[in-house]
Amino acid sequence: MLFSGFLAAAGLPLYVQLPHFAASMGMSLSSIGILLIGLRVLDFVQDPALGLLIDRFRDHRRVIAALALLGMSAGFASVFSLQPGMPGLVAALILLFTSYSLASILFYAQGVAIAETGAPTDHYRLAGYREAATLAGIVVASAAPSLLIWAFGERAGYAGFGAILAAGGALVCWLTTGLWIIKPAAPPRFSIRDFLNAGGGRLLALGLINTLPVAITSSLFLFFVEDRLGLAKWSGGILVLFFLTAGISAPFWWRLVARYGPVKVLIPSMCLSIAAFAGAAALPEGEALGFAAISALSGLTLGADMVILPGLFASMLATANLPAGMGFGLWSFTNKMALALAAATLLPVLGWVGYVPGGPNSPQAIAVLNASYAILPCLLKTLAIALVIALPRKADAI
């Protein structure tokens, strides 16, 4: 659980904080978007290759984990503590995202090996505990910058954030060596045909479309709260509430899946998510309690997404006897591509319509921010529901 919690710091919190951090360092929204999509182009080649490496060197997972965690530590320190210019920032982010990819794929692949020693539903039970720890890490990593900035100012606060995460990576590396005791069996050679025949392509498409709404709201959250709602002082608390609700709900969702099946649980949770996004679009400025309630509902549905979809994918890999490292290399790339697509498309659009973070903005710019944050996710979630409905009936029995 420590490993999962630390990994969380390089996921959603980084995408929540990075646009705001980079803007405070003087970068334009367009530059931030281009930088993020460039990193995802690297992932297009990198993530499947890292998954292949993990499958091939399965007897050396403890060493791979140490390299990944220490690489993340160095990356966090370089990005937030050293606060370099553009060339240094690009190099530091490459190190950070590459190390995160390696650690994340390794961790999910090890989860498949652990779950295979128990009952079929253990994929979802393990996902519930894993994602609860992940979301606990997200809460800490999301709240820490706001608290540090409040106490020490913007530059010093972000520097402290980087130092804390760097030390955390080294500590987790030391405390989690026992995680790699279970050695996976030699996996079969990865086959695209077998992967697609098992439903892997459908699940990757679903994962991409379903992750896009969360990616959009993560990238635009601070901008929406500060400039659309005028609730800058509430942003840290509401963000913590969002992730805390998601973490608390994770065990609840896997119990529902064990009783009713993943598809029958996933569709209602997606409908609740649409209701939350629609509510955010209609909120008047200054409505703190209303937005807190909507954020709690959104967090509840995020818990379902983070438990059910990875569990469904892991179960598919195990049932089809496909290599978990390569499989989760593709899954990792898909999820991160959603995060990058959100930033790379919407941030330049906001810049084009004249939106300035924290500055005076026209009604048109605020309207585009509102539509991007709250209305577009409704459309994407509707498409995700259609993809879930189109899944084979056997998916609910996985």
The DSSP code sequence of 16-36 is: HHHHHHHHHTT--HHHHHHHH
- Which pLDDT belongs to residue 255? 83
| Model-wide pTM > 0.75 | no
Determine the pLDDT at residue 378.
Answer: 94
pLDDT, block means (10 residues), the chain with 398 residues: 74 67 73 73 76 82 90 90 81 88 83 61 60 70 79 86 89 82 68 86 92 87 89 82 82 84 91 94 91 93 87 84 82 79 82 85 91 94 93 61
Say if residues 123 and 113 touch (Cβ distance below 8 Å): no
Report the pLDDT value the prediction gives residue 345, as an integer from 0 to 100: 83
Q: Please write the tens of the pLDDT for every residue from 84-134.
A: 777 888 888 889 888 988 888 888 777 766 666 555 555 566 666 666 677
Q: What per-residue confidence (pLDDT) applies to 274?
A: 95
- pLDDT value at position 187? 61
Give the separation between CA 273 and CA 278, rounded to whole angstroms: 9
Structural domains of the chain, ranges and CATH numbers in brackets: 2-397 (1.20.1250.20)
Q: How far apart are the first and last CA of the chain?
A: 25
